[in-house]
Chains A and B, each alone.
Chain A
């Protein structure tokens, strides 16, 4: 079907036009007296065509506000599912496949199996967001361009019906010459902030047109917001992990170029006096403060090469407390947990001659990557093996049960005076308790009897280096956040544009001695009527505000 879209004024309108683009004469509902539909100034949405093809159909689908509303409703309903049980993204070290069944029973298991335990990362939720994004872009383009065109080439003289079917209408006689009267209108209207255009005995006054762009500014902001949210997962943009940082050690933060040193961790507990009597009864010990003093380093050279020692540069120091994270260039480290198990780091034993009591010197024995050779007096100690968690296997061979220095043992080959040239073997347990438990002397007796001649002994507590604790930090990087804020800022700007200003227009024309005035505003009709009535009053036309109301519910 081909619609006749030519107006009587001679203008050829596009398919879907409601009000003639030139003179404003209604193309539908010609005979009804109802207030006009003024949305988009009556122009056709950009994509409306006579014979739509597949691209047009897709385009028209997303161009529909109805579709947009359904998409938003579906997304809202979808989001509800994500609030029923807690989401997997909250977990740090929990096996989700068991968690839901154990905590919420069968329903929880179904919830997990339906994938609702990660609702906001599921494909269908993302699809909805993408569709909303498409709808935002296409809806906006389809409306803002025709509206822009319509508003930037408005005809001053409008069809009489366009005026009489506005929501604010006045008709009445004037006694002056039409052209002169219209000219005289310009002054008072300009005073009210209107821009006035005159065409003989017709006039158009307009103000605050920019508020019409508010909704589209909102949409631009929302699109930026959506893009930021959808692409947050791009490599390098987002990180949310938890890692242990042993006190006194520089630890690499995986997937970044940063290293973090836990210099000192401390925890304070509430004392008896600080607790209420009720609470004392519960017998709980509650930490008042936990704090990790950290130094953040950035690797500047030799970073990805495991054969080289990375070059680190200190970039920030901070004492991390709960709710007071370390922040540096988008990287944040939050206090999450701690472990007060001490870990032996190194000892500095003294080599002592058992017969004479002579001390040959101290040496530093690290638990990890120790030096292999030590020269003490006339003796050379060669470290030939080490066992971090000493034990004996079924065959009676020494093994380590784990990588943790729970029961460290070191096997040396000692060379020097009174020892065979090939060297004598000597096992050393730094911890006194292990010495007794594993019978260091008995083992050394079997190894060659060096224990009668030499002894390794830690003389003072300062020769023992412990790492007292380790701190569990939550490392977060969220580089998409600035874009989220930018998007939201633009949304706010659009909201303010649309909320606090209104696009007001007044058309008037004089036919013979009859003045016809039509007024339109995007909102605040009360204010509009008052403005029109006050304007007419200055022109010598007394009119009651309320009588200007042409009725009708259309905005």
Chain B
């Protein structure tokens, strides 16, 4: 009788540790409001691109990603577009992707704008504001810098200029 009891005890204690550990750890991790912070994996997205293809972050696995939330009506987003385009041209061969997430505008508006601005980095439509919610974006522009290991290394709210963008990307490429 005594011999059979030990494994039962161990199994029950293990179950309690696993289930309890899960409950407690989600309480610790889930303590925030679900917005991604530095060091987190960027939330998964699946959005239709301007190119007609479906884009996910997995498409850019192993690459550094600059995720920029923008809209044509946001003055500072428009102002930083040339800098983003310039850095895209400069860094794209070194495994850096600039991903523009347009927030809630339709195709014509976005296409006209990108053509006018000469933007050719990947742009996707967040028509239901799903990405905005998942990333907890409040002011625009907001830019998430994701390193090659797939972790957010910094978050920038507001306009980026050519130099600061360059510095940020350099840190992504050569940490």
Contacts and interface: CB of A to CB of B under 8 A. Distances in A.
B106 A368 contact: yes
A402 B73 contact: yes
B16 interface: yes
A401 B48 contact: no
Contacts of B108: 369-370, 372, 383, 385-386
B54 A254 contact: no
Interface stretch (A5-13, A131-139, A210-218, A412-420): A131-139
Contacts of A126: 23-24, 27
A118 B33 CA distance: 11
B12 A388 contact: no
Question: Majority SS of interface residues in chain B?
Answer: helix
Interface string A383-398: 1111011000100000
B6 A400 contact: no
Interface in B29-77: 30-31, 46-48, 52-54, 71-73, 75
B39 to A, nearest CB: 19
A227 B48 CA distance: 40
Chain B, interface size category, equals 35 or more
Interface string B16-30: 100110111011101
Interface in A142-172: none
Contact of B9 (A47, A129, A307, A399): A47
A130 B20 contact: yes
Chain A, interface size category, equals 35 or more
Contacts of A115: 31
Interface string B126-146: 011010010000000000000
Contact of B73 (A56, A306, A370, A389): A389
B10 A55 contact: yes
A122 B112 CA distance: 49
A399 B73 contact: yes
A118 to B, nearest CB: 7
B30 to A, nearest CB: 7
A133 B21 CA distance: 12
A133 B16 contact: yes
Contacts of B78: 399
B89 interface: no
A55 B13 contact: yes
Contact of B53 (A47, A307, A386): A307
A137 B24 CA distance: 18
Contacts of B5: 46
A424 B70 CA distance: 32
Interface in A93-121: 115, 118, 121
Nearest to B107: A369
A306 B130 CA distance: 12
Contacts of A383: 108
A88 to B, nearest CB: 9
B54 A137 contact: no
Interface of A: 46-47, 55-56, 58-59, 115, 118, 121-123, 125-127, 129-131, 133-134, 137-138, 141, 227, 230-231, 233, 251-252, 254, 304-307, 368-370, 372, 383-386, 388-389, 393, 399-403
14 contacts: A55-B6, A55-B13, A58-B13, A121-B27, A123-B27, A123-B28, A137-B12, A137-B16, A141-B12, A251-B128, A306-B54, A307-B48, A370-B106, A393-B75
Interface of B: 5-6, 9-10, 12-13, 16, 19-20, 22-24, 26-28, 30-31, 46-48, 52-54, 71-73, 75, 78, 103-109, 112, 125, 127-128, 130, 133
Given A137-B12, A231-B22, A384-B112, 12 more contacts: A55-B6, A59-B13, A122-B31, A129-B23, A233-B30, A304-B46, A307-B48, A370-B108, A385-B112, A399-B73, A400-B73, A401-B73
